[in-house]
Amino acid sequence: MGNDFGYVLRYLTPENPWFSNNGQALFAGLFQLFLNLFAITFLKLKKENPKLYWSHQFFVITSTILIISSFFLPFSFNVIFLSLNPLLFIFLIFFAGVYRTKMGYRPARYFVAAFAFSLLGGMILILVVAGVLPSTMIFRKALLIGHGIDLILLPMGLADRFNLMQERAFELEEKTKRLHENYSRNLEKRVAEKTLELEVEKMSIEQMMDHTYEQKKSRDQLLGNLDQGYLTFNKEGVIHEGATKITQDLLETNLFESELREIKIWDILFNNAEEKTNFKSWIKNVWEGRLAFKDLKSIAPKFFKGLKGRFIEIDFRPIYREDESNKIDKVIMIASDNTEKKRLRD
């Protein structure tokens, strides 16, 4: 705070001794609290690294305690508290930024760079106060210069984070499109083969010829109305970004910014509390990996009951980690509108 806090005391609160002492603890606690919260959000620690997330949450609590203690405890205690607390978490924040950078999270590079400039400015200011460096204007303002560079780098990091979200959504949409095309081609082939088998069993050659036109018409109508939606979700049940419009139509919901809003798959599929609990248990078993996915798939829900009276079948496919073929990374849910197919069968 230095000279800037001195100006505040001189011109704004000249007759307020509490503000000149514990006021420093109050603002130090607020700064430390919001710095930890910003690091958690910017680096997406809750989703990507729960251990680092809870480590930062610990210092969120200690910073909150510092804010509260500034109103009740003596300044002799608070000044030690406000000095030791950042010394403990400052390296944790820097480590989290470096870790996320090595994990390939592109915006973390801006975070690390911004934080490094702040640390460098603080170190220069400490060396000036200690008499190691000359007390020039640039050195005295090193901390402010570091913060100024922060204000340039952090918005660039936020912009890069938004760009990264758009790129991943586009990649997922392209991947989903390819899956849809492949699945549709295979399904059409299977439907055609099954139709032919049933006709051979039930009809004579003459009957089959008589009904060829009508059967082809019914099949084309069925395939023409077979629209499918795709989405993926993680072990917490959070639906990933990139769900297509047809998916939202079939599930009768809005999945925009599903990750940011932390929309859970069981809240979309079920209204009944018991069904939600059962599906959560199913998801837990899937990620534990004690049973093969093909065995768990048999007890997975098969239908989505919406409000539009449509017959929506749902299916689940695993996506395994690239480095561990037996570890599931996420699960694909495929939604198919088979209302017309059911009507034809009935």
| Bridging pattern class, strands 303-304 and 228-233 | unpaired
Token couple for 316 = 């689940």
Q: Please name the residue that has the structure tokens 């390296």.
A: 91
Q: What is the pLDDT of residue 16?
A: 57
- 87: nearest Cα among 133, 146, 44, 28: 28
Q: Is the pLDDT score of 100 beyond 50?
A: yes
CB 232 within 8 A of CB 239: yes
Q: What is the pLDDT of residue 316?
A: 93
Q: Is the pLDDT score of 108 beyond 90?
A: no
CA dist., res. 203 & res. 206, Å (int): 8
Token couple for 284 = 């837990």
Token couple for 164 = 């990264």
Q: Please name the residue that has the structure tokens 């500034």.
A: 70
pLDDT band at 2 (very low <50, low <70, confident <90, very high): very low
- In this prediction, residues 172-177 reach a mean pLDDT of 78
Sign of CA dihedral 61, 66, 70, 74: positive
Q: What is the pLDDT of residue 283?
A: 92
Token couple for 273 = 């509390």
CA dist., res. 153 & res. 110, Å (int): 6
Q: What is the pLDDT of residue 282?
A: 93
- 269: nearest Cα among 206, 321, 335, 218: 335
User: Residue 319's beta-bridge partner residues?
Assistant: 330
Q: What is the pLDDT of residue 236?
A: 93
Is the model more confident about 338 or about 164?
A: 338
Q: Is the pLDDT score of 334 beyond 80?
A: yes
Q: Tell me, rounded to whole angstroms, the distance of Cα 177 from its chain centroid.
A: 22
Q: Is the pLDDT score of 102 beyond 50?
A: yes
CA atoms within 13 A on the CB side of 65: 11
**Nearby residues of 34 by Cβ (< 8 Å), 6 or more positions away:** none
CA atoms within 13 A on the CB side of 72: 5
CA dist., res. 336 & res. 230, Å (int): 9
CA dist., res. 177 & res. 183, Å (int): 10
User: Residue 318's beta-bridge partner residues?
Assistant: 331
H/E stretch holding 193? helix 142-202
Is the model more confident about 328 or about 142?
A: 328
Furthest CA-CA distance within the chain? 107
Is the model more confident about 22 or about 276?
A: 276
CA dist., res. 311 & res. 301, Å (int): 13
Rg of the chain over Cα atoms, rounded to whole angstroms, equals: 30
CB 321 within 8 A of CB 328: yes
Q: Is the pLDDT score of 11 beyond 70?
A: no
CB 292 within 8 A of CB 196: no
Q: What is the DSSP letter of 301?
A: -
- In this prediction, residues 9-35 reach a mean pLDDT of 68
pLDDT band at 220 (very low <50, low <70, confident <90, very high): very low
CA end-to-end span of the chain: 77
* Highest mean pLDDT of the ranges 166-180, 209-223, 286-300: 286-300
